[in-house]
């Protein structure tokens, strides 16, 4: 029986193409090149959402006033999309003697180039770890073999390097966290792995690559025992602790509490633009979207996306395209592959009687009714609206006043039955999408 199970797992794996490694994004928040630069990274393991949601929150809700922060929201994006620790083994063990045939070789070289960039002064690497680290054994959950809620250095000092007093910096960072503990059990400890003294595992890790290259590096771990918003809370405290230590000034646009972080992660106003032609809200979507246009012949993971959130991605899965926000699955798209044509930039829509010029793609809020004005050379198909008594296969639904009641609820893209797609076509090509959102 076991053999059959293993064989069928292998067979399924062989049938589904493995997801190719995806290079990461770097977002540079720069205000003053003379001030220090922090390199902040999350998500080297794809199943540690505390880290990559913290970098994402940082990018969305912090503003640098003086200094520079380079942020890699998620290092291991392909594994994040699959909710997997490491699709090609542990990425955080590839910083020593890595074969150039490793599928992630180009990603590791890219990180190494960033770490050794002469602009970079300090490095902070975010992880989610199991249990709660304690220097002495207390319980199975609290002991020296656990990694949750600790701040890590490889050694106490880097001689003759700015910010090279790693021990002092990390102690101030953990004090800052401990001043803001939610519960006593969450207490942070400093963990010095003394890597140079023969820790064969840590020698292969990212932070020790930095140390070998004379770059002050710190890792912060938030416990996997904690909810996502609490992990992010502790990571943000660690980031703020480091920023204070190196003199980078920032503003945050919310009061730092787990409740507020929860609210901001689950921000219902977030959306994503796909290939500059389609827009989707991240939240409230139906679990499956059918007959949805997707660019023909494109590699799914390289389709351009733009969103306020930096951890959004498209994952090809079986015959579907999954929209991911970090480890969260937002919807599964059954694609209708079609050639995209970006020729329509704006269209005119009468919204509740008022003529508006609308950018493509966008979400248009409608109270009572709307009417898309005819566009020369294009046709519009409003999914869920059926022209009464019309049997033609290629409807053009412009010049018609449409109310919410005229749209069939099951064709809405959202569970609430309020948001409908207006798809614009030029001949056989898809030119863009507008979403009509009834309030
Ligand atoms: Zn980790």
Residue 394 confidence (pLDDT): 61
Q: How far is the CA of 129 from the centre of ligand 1 (A)?
A: 6
Could you read off the pLDDT of 329-370 as tens digits, one per residue? Answer: 999 999 999 999 989 999 999 999 999 999 999 999 999 999
Of 57, 77, 63, nearest to 262 by C-alpha is: 57
Residue 3 has pLDDT above 80, yes or no: no
| CA 20 – ligand 1 centroid, Å | 21
Checking if the pLDDT of 275 tops 60, the result is: yes
How far apart, in whole angstroms, are the C-alpha atoms of residue 345 and residue 349?
13
Q: Give residue 30 CA to ligand 1 midpoint distance, Å.
A: 27
- Ligand 1 midpoint to CA 412 (Å): 39
Query: How far, in Å, is the centroid of ligand 1 from the Cα of 58?
Result: 19
Q: How many helices (H) and strands (E) does the chain have?
A: 8, 26
Residue 24 DSSP one-character state: P
Q: Which residues are CB-neighbours of 319 under 8 A, at least 6 positions away? A: 334, 335
Assess if CATH 3.40.630.10 describes domain 2-265. yes
pLDDT of residue 17: 65
- Ligand 1 mean position, distance from CA 55 (Å): 14
Say how many Å lie between the CA of residue 48 and the centre of ligand 1.
6
Rounded average pLDDT over 132-159: 98
Read off the pLDDT of each residue in 236-263 and give the average, rounded to a whole number. 98
Beta bridge partners of 356: 349
CA of 328 to the centre of ligand 1 (A): 18
Instruction: Give CA–CA dist 119/423, Å, rounded.
Output: 46
Write down the pLDDT at residue 386.
80
Residues 6+ apart with CB under 8 A from 407: 382, 384, 385, 420, 438
pLDDT exceeds 60 at position 8 = no
Question: How many A from CA of 178 to the centre of ligand 1?
Answer: 21
CA of 128 to the centre of ligand 1 (A): 5
**How high is the pLDDT of residue 158?**
98
Could you read off the pLDDT of 426-436 as tens digits, one per residue? 999 999 999 99
What are the tens digits of pLDDT across the range 177-233?
A: 999 999 999 999 999 999 999 999 999 999 999 999 999 999 999 999 999 999 999
- Distance from Cα 145 to the centre of ligand 1, integer Å: 14
Which two structure tokens, joined as six digits, stand for 344?
A: 């329509």
Distance 361 CA to ligand 1 centre (A): 37
Mean pLDDT of the residues in the chain = 95
274: pLDDT strictly greater than 90? yes
pLDDT of residue 5: 52
Q: In this structure, what token pair is assigned to residue 339?
A: 């050639």
Q: In the structure, what pLDDT confidence band is assigned to residue 1 with cuts at 50, 70 and 90?
A: very low
C-alpha 130 to ligand 1 mean position (Å): 10
> Where in the chain are all domains bearing CATH 3.40.630.10?
2-265
């Amino acid at each position: 029986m076991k053999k059959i199970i293993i064989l069928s797992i292998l067979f399924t794996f062989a049938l589904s193409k493995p997801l190719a490694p995806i290079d990461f994004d770097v977002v540079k928040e720069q205000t003053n090149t003379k001030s220090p630069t922090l390199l902040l990274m999350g998500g080297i393991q794809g199943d540690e959402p505390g880290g990559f949601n913290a970098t994402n929150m940082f990018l969305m809700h912090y503003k640098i006033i003086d200094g520079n922060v380079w942020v890699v929201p998620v290092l291991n994006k392909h594994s994040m999309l699959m909710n997997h620790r490491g699709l090609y083994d542990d990425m955080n063990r590839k910083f020593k003697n890595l074969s150039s045939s490793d599928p992630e070789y180009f990603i590791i070289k890219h990180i190494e180039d960033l770490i050794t960039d002469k602009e970079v002064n300090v490095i902070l690497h975010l992880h989610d770890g199991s249990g709660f680290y304690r220097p002495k054994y207390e319980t199975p959950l609290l002991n020296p073999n656990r990694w949750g809620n600790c701040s890590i250095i490889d050694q106490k000092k880097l001689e003759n390097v700015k910010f090279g007093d790693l021990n002092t910096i990390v102690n101030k960072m953990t004090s800052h966290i401990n001043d803001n503990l939610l519960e006593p059990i969450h207490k942070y400890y400093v963990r010095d792995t003394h890597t140079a003294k023969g820790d064969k595992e840590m020698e292969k890790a990212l932070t020790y690559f930095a140390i070998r290259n004379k770059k002050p590096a710190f890792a912060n771990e938030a416990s996997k025992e904690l909810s996502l918003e609490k992990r992010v809370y502790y990571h943000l405290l660690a980031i703020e602790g480091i920023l204070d230590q190196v003199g980078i000034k920032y503003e945050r646009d919310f009061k730092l509490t787990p409740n507020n972080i929860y609210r901001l992660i689950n921000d219902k106003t977030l959306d994503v633009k796909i290939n500059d032609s389609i827009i989707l809200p991240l939240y409230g979507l139906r679990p499956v979207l059918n007959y949805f246009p997707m660019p023909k012949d494109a590699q799914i993971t390289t389709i351009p996306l733009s969103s306020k959130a930096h951890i959004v991605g498209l994952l090809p899965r079986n015959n579907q395209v999954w929209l991911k926000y970090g480890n969260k699955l937002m919807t599964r798209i059954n694609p209708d592959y079609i050639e995209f044509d970006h020729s329509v930039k704006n269209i005119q829509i009468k919204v509740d009687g008022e003529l508006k010029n609308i950018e493509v793609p966008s979400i248009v809020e409608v109270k009572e009714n709307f009417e898309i004005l005819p566009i020369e050379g294009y046709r519009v198909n409003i999914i869920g609206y059926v022209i009464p008594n019309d049997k033609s296969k290629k409807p053009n639904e412009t010049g018609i006043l449409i109310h919410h009641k005229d749209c069939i609820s099951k064709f809405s893209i959202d569970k609430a039955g309020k948001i409908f797609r207006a798809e614009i076509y030029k001949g056989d090509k898809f030119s863009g999408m507008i979403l009509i959102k009834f309030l």
